Amino acid sequence: MNHRHGSVQPWLRRMLVLVLLAALWGLGRYEVACAEDVFREVQGDHFIVKYLLADERENALRILQRAEDYYKRVADGIGYSRYQEYWTWERRVNIVLYPDQMSYARFTGQPVWSKGYASRDSRLFHSKVVVSYDDQPDFLEEILPHEITHLMVWDFLGFTRKVPIWFEEGLAQLEEQGKRDVVQEAMQGVVAAGNAIPFTTFNSLNITSIQDQTRVSLFYAQSLSIVDFMLTRYGKDAFRHFCRELRQGGEFEESLARAYPAIFRTLFDLEWKWKNYLQNDFIPGGSK
């Protein structure tokens, strides 16, 4: 993917960025300048991609196209489609792209391990925003769809709606390319070995409070596994119905029972049937 930056030498790009950063830093108006003056942009129906250097335009256009595609797919998945006017024109989402991890971390104050984040009301950019950096292989296929989904789910369900974190993270991972099958196969083994996180803990677990990296990975995998199970096993219509119930203010378990009558009366039904599906019905490599 190195060719994507055209003819500008990497060292020259880095220097240009450093000069830009230094200038802004020196002016003491780092954040404002960064948000309003320096970025170039390309605009689509629902997104604006902001980037720093002229030779990134082609790449920004490619990102814009992918973002618009993800928007349609996520909207279709959660039943957001008829609310699509929400994000047009002045309510479009900014995708702000730094050239590399260093400038991203310095500008945004994100920790060094962070690959990207989404915000509904960014102090830095005064809008709904996805912020990340370009110089990483999984940006287009993982980070971009993940953060776009978070924003859409917050909008659709309402930001204050209390849904378990696993449900949100499960949704956010659905459009990450190629992840579902890998995760389902892994979770099949985890469940068979009795190592899944019990729902009594899982349902109220806040991953930001977990230090153990293995447990964080398991939490994400289990989240995706359950949401994928709901969709694959019971279809899109029931899933959209469930999302609609949540949007209308239903409690999580109550909405589950309404959208899946006689299937999930409680969260324990969901847990039990999910495990049962992985152990008896899921065929690795054979599912779509």
In the complex, least distance from residue 261 CB atom to Zn ion, rounded to whole angstroms: 30
Q: In the range 162-181, which residues lie near Zn ion by CB under 5 A? A: 169, 172
Specify the residue, 118 or 256, whose C-beta has the smaller distance to Zn ion: 118
In the complex, least distance from residue 147 CB atom to Zn ion, rounded to whole angstroms: 7
Convert residues 54-73 into a mask of x (bound to Zn ion by CB under 5 A) and - (unbound): --------------------
Specify the residue, 169 or 228, whose C-beta has the smaller distance to Zn ion: 169
Q: Which of 248, 247, 249, 273 is nearest to 260 (CA)?
A: 273
- Residue 148 engages Zn ion in binding (rule: CB under 5 A): no
Specify the residue, 20 or 165, whose C-beta has the smaller distance to Zn ion: 165
Q: Which residue is nearest to Zn ion (CB)?
A: 172
In the complex, least distance from residue 273 CB atom to Zn ion, rounded to whole angstroms: 25
- Residue 130 engages Zn ion in binding (rule: CB under 5 A): no
Q: Which two tokens stand for residue 155?
A: 């909008």
- Residue 118 engages Zn ion in binding (rule: CB under 5 A): no
**Chain positions contacting Zn ion, by CB under 5 A:** 169, 172
